[in-house]
Structure 1
């Protein structure tokens, strides 16, 4: 005999299936991120490794815990549900612990990155690694310089070059100093068409998108963990206190009629004339 409410059981299994799908989506996003970063930046391998590992661990753990909860609900296995409940408590506390400080740091992120990027200026005197990274970003994002094209001083690289015939709105014409002949500075040959947009706003745009995505995933997992905690607690309670057999009280539908209040006399009383003239003995 089933000890858990069938409706609750179906809801809990459906919840765990959705929970497993969320874990699969996280793993898929980690794989896409790995593919794109492999295509774009090989030198960023070390910096992205910890983030990718974290995404893989979160996704795989989510799927395994969801399968454990679905199995415990389907088989009505108390130990599996208790283990699932423990993981839900730990997961909810961990996600809240990560999500709240992360959301609090977001408003300060732009100022901190501005200060950090300002330390590598000017770009023409930066390290070769920084130059290579800046060239790659300028080529991919169609921008020039972190905050302005003057970040390169007069050594504007070819990655800033913009073709006016194709992208007229994105290009601007600037003058730069020819290192061979400084007297040609105002000559037409020393003018260069570069991208008008700077790189820092574009970088911050993508960073905020990733930051908001992480915050959304963390709080979504926290909410799902709380829901799973509540549902598993109810199921464990029902397993510990199974439904008792219902006692039905039967009410008789037939009634035995009682004796009448008055009963007809078999011998009627004598008449008045007989009482006045009694028969002789």
Structure 2
């Protein structure tokens, strides 16, 4: 039993240290500017970029302080302090779940909001030169054209949308008519004046950039919640040890050969 208790205590210390590290990560991510790395960020000024940041900025320091309290309680084996830590960290866990729950709804509504932005900024050739320059960089880097399709530029397609179609072998002129080879030209589509452009739009790329910060915050909060539940269970087990630990007993036989069981006296 003593060995099991020592393992439980060591595990509680490790989990509270891990909770401390998680709190530091929450602070670091909460005060960092991830959203500033979104390409063509000026297009998305109407979208909220602070979803989840306040949650991390507030609950990060609280988690760090409570983790220090839990580490001290588990290291010194102070049962009242372990119970206090368990109660406080449980309150933080409930508050974190209540405050962070709207993030899931934000994630589901993000695609619809971005699609609306894409619709409002087309045609793209009417946008500011800065936005067009950033879009051209994005189109060159990811071999895409437009936000929803190349038609977002209408008839004024930039050079960054140009695509070189794969050339078919001259020895087999009938190869282009074969169904199995139609996928080789899917990345390029022909438009007016013998011009080929990228068939893939750049919208999915921008959506992935925009959704990454929210997904990161949801992941961090989920990890902290899991570690918090483990810390609560371990610290409660240590704090309530006297209720689940079986006391040592001794047996005695009286004059009538009756066996009696009673706790052994402890030396204080």
Question: Highest CA radius of gyration, 1 or 2?
Answer: 1
Given the superposition, is the C-alpha separation of residues 106 and 140 from structure 1 closer, same or farther in structure 2, using an over 3 Å criterion?
same
CA distance in 1, matches of 2:130, 2:54: 25
2:236 aligned partner? 233
Matches within 5 A, 1:61-210: 62=63, 65-77=66-78, 81=82, 84-164=85-165, 170-175=187-192, 186=193, 191=195, 193-208=196-211, 210=213
- Following superposition, the deviation at residue 114 of structure 1 comes to 0.8
Counterpart pick for 2:250 among 248, 258, 271: 248
- Bigger shift: 92-101 or 209-218? 209-218
How many residues are aligned here?
Answer: 235
Write the distance in 1 (CA, Å) between the matches of 2:217 and 2:185: 36
Partner of 1:265: none
RMSD: 4.6
Residues 74-116 of structure 1, C-alpha deviations (whole Å, 9 max, x = no match) = 1124575356335422431233124432223433332222112
* Whole-Å separation in 2 of the counterparts to 1:115 and 1:42: 15
Q: Secondary structure at the match of 2:191?
A: strand
SS in 2 for 1:248: strand
**In 2: Cα distance, 1:37 partner to 1:56 partner:** 20
Equivalent residue of 1:155, what SS?
Answer: coil
User: 1:59 & 1:132 partners in 2: Cα distance?
Assistant: 38
Q: Work out whether residues 68 and 84 of structure 1, in 8 Å CA contact, stay in contact via their aligned partners in 2.
A: yes
Tell me, yes or no, if the aligned pair for 2:30 and 2:56 is still in contact at 8 Å: yes
**Residues 1:197 and 1:66: Cα distance change in structure 2 (over 3 Å):** same
Distance 1:43 1:54 in 2: 25
State the match for 2:223 in structure 1.
220
Higher relative contact order (CA 8 A, sep 6+): 2
Task: State the secondary structure of the residue aligned to 1:146.
Answer: coil
Q: Verify the 8 A CA contact 1:95 1:219 in the aligned structure 2.
A: no
In structure 2, the CA distance between the partners of 1:158 and 1:13, relative to structure 1 (3 Å rule), is same
User: What are the ranges of 5 or more consecutive residues in structure 1 without an aligned counterpart?
Assistant: 176-185, 256-281
Q: Distance in 2 between matches of 1:210 and 1:130?
A: 22
Task: Identify if the C-alpha distance between structure 1 residues 31 and 106 changes in structure 2 by more than 3 Å, giving closer, same or farther.
Answer: closer
Q: Secondary structure at the match of 2:146?
A: coil
Whole-Å separation in 1 of the counterparts to 2:41 and 2:133: 11
SS of match in other structure, 1:197: coil
**Residues 160-185 of structure 1, C-alpha deviation per residue, up to 9 Å, x if partnerless?**
2334469965333333xxxxxxxxxx
Distance 2:134 2:88 in 1: 41
| Structure 2: runs of 5 or more not aligned | 168-183, 258-268
| CA deviation string 1:219-270 (max 9, x = no partner) | 332232233223323333348x798985635458xx9xxxxxxxxxxxxxxx
**TM-score if structure 2 supplies the norm length?**
0.63
Give yes or no for contact 2:163–2:197 (8 Å, CA) kept in 1.
yes
Deviations 1:8-43, CA, capped at 9 Å, x for gaps: 312212322443454566678789985x939x7797
